[in-house]
Structure 1
Amino acid sequence: MSVELNHTIVHARDNRESAQFFADLLGLEITAEWGPFIAVGLSNGVTLDFATIPADQLAMQHYAFLVSEEEFDAAYARISERGIEHYADPHRQQPGAINHNDGGRGVYFMDPAGHAMELITVPYGGWTS
């Protein structure tokens, strides 16, 4: 059996708020709820399991997602419609813009818990065969 990522825990101030924000923005579904976790399923079978933790224990993390051009268009439209601050770069020097790195498109924004989220349409370094 090959090694695959199955799930990861994403800390949040409010697990429901963060899970719903993420699911709504990317057109995904909340797939399960158990104990302190609310899971959002990704297309490759991985789940992001959102868990509420005390605010003083939250540390900013970075999550990058490879999406199709159509998914990017839909998510970026939601980002714009909702007035979510976004940037073309991780240092937040290019507000209200997207990048075209590696021949694709990318955008950075923060989730409700303060995590840096990134959407890209082409992996870093471009597509390889």
Structure 2
Amino acid sequence: MPAQLDHTIVHSSDRFASARFLTGLLGAPEPRAYGPFAAVPLANGVTVDYADSIVASDRIVMQHLAFLVAEDEFDEIYARITDRGLPHWGDPGHTEPQQINHRHRGRGVYVDDPDGHSLEFLTHPYVTDE
């Protein structure tokens, strides 16, 4: 059987605040406590586990998490982003402010969580062989 991603750990200055930021955008249930983590289960069985960092929040190394979502879910997520007045970008380099992109035969948007982690929401996987 090929390897499957089961979970990833994301360091944060406040595990539940960061987990709630993500679940709030996704329209997902409240994160659950799992040991030292605030766990956010995703539809494909992968869990994003937020952990309180043992270093100062200005030393947390940025991570990029990309979430493949359906078109209607993208509309809902994007509405939550704009309703909250969150800065967002059409590109990972933050050169296309307050925009979405239409790359890879879909749509995408980037938003930073409270600790500066880049959250990408896209409607079509990247196409590498076309």
The unaligned stretches of length 5 or more in structure 2 are none
Q: Hey, what's the Cα distance between the residues in 1 that align with 2:120 and 2:113?
A: 10
1:113 and 2:105 correspond: no
Q: Which residues in structure 2 correspond to 1:20-99 (within 5 Å)?
A: 20-30=20-30, 32-53=32-53, 54=55, 55-99=57-101
Aligned partner of 1:52: which letter? D
Of stretches 101-110 and 48-57 in structure 1, the one that deviates more from structure 2 is 48-57
Deviation digits for residues 25-50 of structure 1 (CA, Å, limit 9, x no counterpart): 10122453133201001000110000
Misfit runs of 4+, over 3 Å: none
Of stretches 85-94 and 28-37 in structure 1, the one that deviates more from structure 2 is 28-37
**Displacement of 1:113 after TM fit?**
1.0
Q: Hey, what's the Cα distance between the residues in 2 that align with 1:28 and 1:4?
A: 22
1:7 and 2:7 correspond: yes
**Displacement of 1:126 after TM fit?**
7.4
- Secondary structure, in 3 states, of the residue corresponding to 1:102? coil
Q: Hey, what's the Cα distance between the residues in 1 that align with 2:5 and 2:76?
A: 26
Q: Hey, what's the Cα distance between the residues in 2 that align with 1:91 and 1:67?
A: 21
Q: TM-score under structure 1 normalisation?
A: 0.92
The unaligned stretches of length 5 or more in structure 1 are none
Aligned partner of 1:6: which letter? D
**Displacement of 1:91 after TM fit?**
1.0
Q: Hey, what's the Cα distance between the residues in 2 that align with 1:65 and 1:108?
A: 10
Kept in 2: contact 1:30–1:38 (CA 8 A): no
Please report the RMSD computed on the Cα atoms of aligned residues, expressed in angstroms. 1.8
Deviation digits for residues 47-82 of structure 1 (CA, Å, limit 9, x no counterpart): 000001132541011111110001100000000000
Q: Hey, what's the Cα distance between the residues in 1 that align with 2:29 and 2:64?
A: 21
